[in-house]
Structure 1
Amino acid sequence: MRITLMYASAPRTVHEIQLDVAPGCTLGQALAQAHWLARFPEIEAQALATSVWGRKAARDDVLREGDRVEVVRPLRVDPKVARRERFVGQGARGTGLFAGRRPGSKAGY
């Protein structure tokens, strides 16, 4: 069965590998089979979260054909706080879907 392992070890640095594993393989076994626990010791040291297709998954979860396993670093900034701070910097007139429209164009285009 074929799965994909993904890990962003740093901003703008993504490691991706296609891996053939036996049916019934767990997420932890797939990480060990790819030698990612030795290659990236921070996965174990920092107890980074793991997910399958963006949904949180434990290391003992059984994988299925075509799963995409992601090793996830914690967020440095809460997305809601970052958006709020950007909005304060832009002001009310510079935000919105159509804020950058051309002069003389129709509203909504």
Structure 2
Amino acid sequence: MTESIEVEIAYALPERQVLKKLQVPAGTNVEQAIHHSGIMHQFPEIDLNENRFGIFSKFVKREAVLQPRDRIEIYRPLTVDPKEARRLRVTNKKINQQ
């Protein structure tokens, strides 16, 4: 019999967050676990070729083999470049102070 491990899949939208626990066979990789979780049926916008993945906030490739109790995080694409967002905040702060 194949040993199984428990992992979690996390995905968040601004208005909703999902955390799924699942049992997968030892040796399962990130991509296999995502498919096994069914989260792509729940969130069809997830694209394994476009989204990035992490395990506890550390970027990993979808071929990374999982360890017991890993939490796979599926990251959404950025909507604004972080440098541009900072510039906008500074500009808005200066305008509001005048």
What's the TM-score bracket when you normalise by the shorter of the two chains? Answer: 0.7 to 0.9
Pick the aligned partner of 2:88 from 74, 85, 90: 85
TM-score (norm 1): 0.71
Higher strand share: 2
Distance of 1:38 and 1:44 partners within structure 2 = 11
Q: Deviations over 1:14-59 (max 9, x none)?
A: 1111112221111111111112233333223763221111222222
**Higher Cα radius of gyration:** 1
Identity of aligned residues (%): 32
Residue in 2 that maps onto 1:40: 43
Q: Structure with the greater relative contact order (CA < 8 A, sep ≥ 6): 1 or 2?
A: 2
TM-score (norm 2): 0.77
- How many residues in Structure 1 have an aligned counterpart in Structure 2? 91
Unaligned runs of 5+ residues in structure 1 are 95-109
Alignment root-mean-square deviation, CA: 2.0
Unaligned runs of 5+ residues in structure 2 are none
